[in-house]
Amino acid sequence: MIDGINSYNLTKHLAQAPTWTPLEFATKDINGTLLGGV
């Protein structure tokens, strides 16, 4: 799941440094269904 979010985000805005630490948040409902993420 997180890899997909990172891949999508990198298609919209490239990393600004050669070394970076991904910061990610995802929200799921009570059933575990992904609702969104950044």
> Which residues partner with 28 through β-bridges?
34
pLDDT band of residue 21 (cuts 50, 70, 90) is: confident
Residue 6 pLDDT > 70: yes
- Give pLDDT, residue 31: 96
Number of domains comprising the chain: 1
**Ramachandran class of 7: left when φ > 0, alpha when ψ lies in -120 to 50, beta otherwise:** alpha
Q: Which structural domain, as residue segments, surrounds residue 7? A: 3-36
pLDDT band of residue 1 (cuts 50, 70, 90) is: low
Give how far the C-alpha of residue 16 lies from the chain's centroid of Cα atoms, to the nearest Å. 16
